[in-house]
Amino acid sequence: MANTSEQSKSNIDVDTGHDYDGIHEYDNPLPRWWLIIFWVCIAFGYGYWIHFHVAGTGKSEIAELQEQQAEAVKRAANAKEVTDDVLTLLSKDPETTAAGAKLFATNCVVCHGANGEGKIGPNLTDAFWIHGNKPTDIYKTVSTGVLEKGMPAWLPVLGPDRVRTLVAFVITREGLNLPGKEPQGVRVTGGQ
C-alpha cells in the first residue's frame, strides 16, 4: 500500500533536485482554477488594449473626466446662485475666463492694470486682499463697488452673469504675484 501512495505521489510531485536547508523544491503544476483566471485576465487585458488604445472606440478616463468637468461648468454657468463653488468652477473654464478677460480689459485695466498688477486700484495678483479673497467676497466687491475708493458698483452696469464672468477671470489672477502696486490689505494664505 505504501508503494502505491508513493507512486501516485511521484506522479504529482516532481522533484527538481534543488535542496536548500533540507527543503525540497517540487515542480508541481498550478491549480486549474488559477490557470483559468490567469488566461482570462490576459485575454481581457488584450481586448481592453485593443478597444481603448488601438481602435480608440472606447472613452478614456481622461475624456470622461473632461466631459464631467464641462457639464459642471455648464451647470455653474446656468446657476443663478452665486457661491464659492460656482465661481471657482467658472474660473476653471477657458471660455468663461476669456470672456472675463475681455470684460476686465474693457472696464478694469485703468485702475488695476492690464494683468491685474494694480495702478490706482490694488494689485489683484498678490496675497494681500482688502475685502477678502474668497470668490463670493470678490463678487460682492465687484457687484457693490467701493465708492469711497472710487470703484463703481458693476452689477447695475454689467448684470449678474457678466459680473460672474469678470469675477471668474479675477480669480485666475490670484497668486501670479506680478510686480506692480505695493501690497494693500491683509495677507491671505492658502488662496481661495
pLDDT at 1: 44
Report the mean per-residue pLDDT for the chain.
Answer: 83
Q: What is the DSSP letter of 148?
A: G
Highest mean pLDDT among 3-7, 8-12, 74-78, 143-147: 143-147
Other CB atoms within 10 Å distance of the CB of residue 108: 21
Please give the Cα distance from 31 to 35 (Å, whole number).
7
pLDDT at 34: 96
pLDDT at 4 over 70: no
Query: What's the structural domain count of the chain?
Result: 2
Contacts of 188 (CB under 8 A, 6+ apart): 127, 128, 129, 132, 133
Torsion over CA of 138, 142, 147 and 149, rounded to 10 degrees?
A: 60
Residue 160 has φ and ψ, to the nearest 5°, of -65, -40
pLDDT at 145 over 70: yes
- Give a yes or no: residue 7 inside a domain: no
Residue 72's Cβ-side half-sphere holds a number of Cα atoms within 13 Å equal to 15
What confidence tens digit (pLDDT) does each residue in 43-59 have? 999 998 888 788 877 77
Other CB atoms within 10 Å distance of the CB of residue 127: 17
pLDDT at 2 over 70: no
- On whether the CB atoms of residues 28 and 22 are closer than 8 A, the answer is no
Do both 96 and 174 map to the same domain?
yes
Do both 42 and 133 map to the same domain?
no
pTM for the full model?
0.62
Please give the Cα distance from 58 to 36 (Å, whole number).
26
Length of the chain: 192
Do both 103 and 44 map to the same domain?
no
Kindly indicate the confidence band of residue 77, based on its pLDDT and cuts at 50, 70 and 90. Answer: low
Q: Are strands 186-187 and 15-20 parallel, antiparallel or unpaired?
A: unpaired
Mean pLDDT within 79-85: 79
Do both 37 and 86 map to the same domain?
no
The CATH number of the domain holding residue 167 is 1.10.760.10
- What residues make up the domain containing 37? 14-54
Mean pLDDT within 91-108: 88
Residue with cell 465687484: 142
pLDDT at 85 over 80: yes
